[in-house]
Structure 1
Amino acid sequence: MTKRTWTTCWLTPMLAVLSLASFAAAQEFSTSDTNVGYIDSAFVGSKIRFRFDSAYDNPTPDRAEFFYRASTAATGSPISPAEPQVDYQEFWTYLELAVASNVSLFVDAPVRMVNPEIAANTSGFSDLQVGIKGILLESDADMLTGQIRVYTPTGDASRRLGTNHASIEPALLYARRLSDRTMLESEFRVWVPLDSTVVPQGHFAGPVLRYGVGVGHDLYQCVSPCGCESKKLTAVAEFVGWSILDGLATVPATPTMATIIDVDGDTIINGKFGLRYTQSCHSVYVGYGRAFTGDVWYHDIIRAEYAIRF
């Protein structure tokens, strides 16, 4: 299936359902209700978030050109040979603005630091992401939100800071209140590259399914007598997966040569565990993630974030 067909198949219905958001009921939840640290939140509102990731041991960082551009010499790229593993850190600044009670626009701006084993370390601005969220269905206990995220090739791909192509990612996000202390949140996303590095073996970039479910349980809750301030400490467990539908990757064959492999069908599953402390409009999250499968984006990841809604 061509990339144009993929884009049409997923973008058209998502645009249609997002257009229905203006008819959704007024939002019952508060953006402070979200507990997850890795799954995209279904809640819509105005907030700013600062996030830091430190990830370790990515053995195929150009897999499907999801993280950065293909790095083998066979592509004519200046970044070769293939790295045996890459560590990286990313700083993210996320701004979401509600343009209605049930629709918001967002921008996610990353700065990346890459630590390869062979090449020199590099750092700089990565691929900017922008998008729209809209509540599709809502009740007192449930919320279903449509989201479209666009990845723009603003990072310098020759320095491992981006993919060198635009991508689009429609998503469905869901939240359900299981009790006054427990919240379930989930996501289903489809990342579709709009271009790709091409080699004799085919296109490096390929569609990637992402899906996840997370549960947050409040270990501690406190509401002031006047109701103007609340505090809670939440334990969060998330399970996130990626299934690659097409694409290639490079792996080292010798210290100076790389081999291109097919990654169609690769599946990656991670467990994410953390704590979130929320006080009124402020929220702090700290968590750790670990790969459960042989195929990985990283073996371990540490995440910390601070968010404030307004």
Structure 2
Amino acid sequence: MGNLTGNSIWARFAIPGALALLLCAVASAQELKRLPPVEPADAETQAVFNMPTEPPFRFNTTPISFESQQPLPSPPETPEVVPIGPPIKIAPIEQQQPWEDWGAYQIPLNGCSTCGECRCEPCTATTRAGRFLWLIQHAVCCTDPCYEPAWRPLEDSAFFVNSARPQGTMRFRWDAGFGLSTPDRAEFFWAKPGRGPSPTGVYVPDVDYMTLYQYTETGGKKFSATFEYKYMEVDPEGAPHGAGFGDMTIGTKTLLFDNGLFQVAFLMKTHMPAGRVSRGLGTGHVSLEPIVVVGIHVAAESYLQIEVGEWIPIAADPTYGGSILHMATSFNHTLAYPAPSSPLIGTLELDTWSFQAGAYTNSLGQATSASGAMYAQTSAGIRWFICKDYDVGASLATGVTNQHWADFLFRTDFRVRF
């Protein structure tokens, strides 16, 4: 075999390559013939990656014309008159006896309220007196289902009257009394001469005092327990000055009735001797004090606090010690709202103490019967509820009878609720 030259080698590979390219071109032409024709794209449409195939939404910018709308019909010249029929006759009001006409009531008497619940039983009375008694019975025994018991500032604003509703409270109170006469009367303020402060003269005509109280109340919605202690400073006329801790008081409070109109509670206080008797810081004996407290809603922004209590000394001096009937009333009224949910409430109060037994030392140094006497004082105060948990207030009391506990008593409160 002869030797292969360079030209013969390229010729041997070029011929098969050309045939392969020709076959690929023929196959591509046949594949293109089988594809569907492609429509030309709109000139305004731009190629966007993953562009949707739906046509774009276009607003109709043609102006609206009102010329083609039909005009509204004009009103008739003479309006049509529709007869209303014959007048309705109202039955005459039945004649009632004078004792039956006790006023009308604007509350439902069918036994059901607007909260979807019913009272104990519907009212079947036909007279006003019967409906009145039915309302009293249901107010006491069947609480309105719409009523939600809750502490409210207006119910707890008095300075010298207890509140009916139990509420967790810590109170700091400061009293400054001037000119308290006959302090040994019935051994209510301090003990008789000899056991209590010994006068430098014949008797102690009056005394000035200052007292700081710390009061704590804790419990639930219907019951609470209370504890109070005090630090006193007494400055009597004609007797040595004294200062120190005074007697302590523990008690309980039970809410008996509670509805939207009134609340009734029972308090039981026990005053225990803890102060130094010879310095006038205590009475030297135990005292019990049952109290009934009533709260009445007289108006939307007015409330009445009432209490009646009996102070009963135990193991007191047979001659000087005696029971005292205490009654107090406070009228509370909202004066303003310096801020939302922050009322400013004013109070007007009247307190009386009726001495049922006991004695006191007169200007001759002799024991004189205290039975039948009455002390009375009035007070005016103002209390600001900063918010639901805090309030501050001050009150000024003065005696209105010839003999009284203090000529002037200035009281300030700061309370925290929890």
User: After the TM superposition, which segments of 4 or more aligned residues of structure 1 sit over 2 Å from their partners?
Assistant: 23-27, 221-224
| Structure 2 CA distance for aligned equivalents of residues 299 and 247 of structure 1 | 22
- For structure 1, the 5+ residue unaligned runs are 1-22, 225-229
Structure 2 counterpart of 1:159, from 271, 275, 279: 279
CA 1:261 to 1:104, structure 2 compared with 1: closer, same or farther past 3 Å? Answer: same
| Contact 1:24/1:137, CA 8 A, preserved across alignment | no
* Equivalent residue number for residue 237 of structure 1: 348
| Contact 2:330/2:348, CA 8 A, preserved across alignment | yes
Are residues 1:182 and 2:302 paired?
A: yes
* Equivalent residue number for residue 120 of structure 1: 240
| Structure 2 CA distance for aligned equivalents of residues 150 and 282 of structure 1 | 27
State the superposition RMSD in angstroms.
Answer: 1.9
TM-score between the two structures when normalised by the length of structure 2: 0.62
| Structure 2 CA distance for aligned equivalents of residues 279 and 186 of structure 1 | 25
| Structure 2 CA distance for aligned equivalents of residues 77 and 180 of structure 1 | 49
What do the CA deviations read for 1:192-223 (whole angstroms, capped 9, x no partner)?
0011124xxxx211000000111111011367
The one-letter amino acid paired with 1:36 is A
Instruction: Look up the SS of the partner of 1:184 in the other structure.
Output: strand
| Contact 1:24/1:135, CA 8 A, preserved across alignment | no
Instruction: Look up the SS of the partner of 2:183 in the other structure.
Output: coil
The one-letter amino acid paired with 1:282 is Y
* Equivalent residue number for residue 287 of structure 1: 395
Instruction: Look up the SS of the partner of 2:398 in the other structure.
Output: strand
Identity percentage over the alignment? Answer: 25
Structure 1 counterpart of 2:263, from 143, 149, 154: 143
| Structure 2 CA distance for aligned equivalents of residues 116 and 78 of structure 1 | 9
Shift of 1:117: 1.4
| Contact 1:67/1:162, CA 8 A, preserved across alignment | yes
What do the CA deviations read for 1:14-62 (whole angstroms, capped 9, x no partner)?
xxxxxxxxx9979713153311011111121101000000111112000
- For structure 2, the 5+ residue unaligned runs are 1-140
* Equivalent residue number for residue 305 of structure 1: 413
* Equivalent residue number for residue 50 of structure 1: 172
What do the CA deviations read for 1:250-277 (whole angstroms, capped 9, x no partner)?
1232xxxx12110001101110101010
Are residues 1:68 and 2:190 paired?
A: yes
The one-letter amino acid paired with 1:67 is F
Instruction: Look up the SS of the partner of 1:64 in the other structure.
Output: helix
| Structure 2 CA distance for aligned equivalents of residues 77 and 154 of structure 1 | 14
What do the CA deviations read for 1:199-248 (whole angstroms, capped 9, x no partner)?
xxxx2110000001111110113674xxxxx1011111000100010000
Instruction: Look up the SS of the partner of 2:186 in the other structure.
Output: helix
Higher relative contact order (CA 8 A, sep 6+): 1
| Structure 1 CA distance for aligned equivalents of residues 304 and 385 of structure 2 | 17
Are residues 1:94 and 2:215 paired?
A: yes
* Equivalent residue number for residue 274 of structure 1: 381
Are residues 1:28 and 2:149 paired?
A: yes
* Equivalent residue number for residue 14 of structure 2: none
Highest Rg: 1 or 2?
A: 2
| Structure 2 CA distance for aligned equivalents of residues 138 and 287 of structure 1 | 28
| Contact 2:190/2:196, CA 8 A, preserved across alignment | no
The one-letter amino acid paired with 2:164 is A
* Equivalent residue number for residue 106 of structure 2: none
CA 1:131 to 1:27, structure 2 compared with 1: closer, same or farther past 3 Å? Answer: farther
| Contact 2:196/2:277, CA 8 A, preserved across alignment | no
Shift of 1:120: 2.4
The one-letter amino acid paired with 1:38 is F
Are residues 1:213 and 2:324 paired?
A: no
The one-letter amino acid paired with 1:155 is G
Are residues 1:110 and 2:230 paired?
A: yes
Are residues 1:197 and 2:313 paired?
A: no
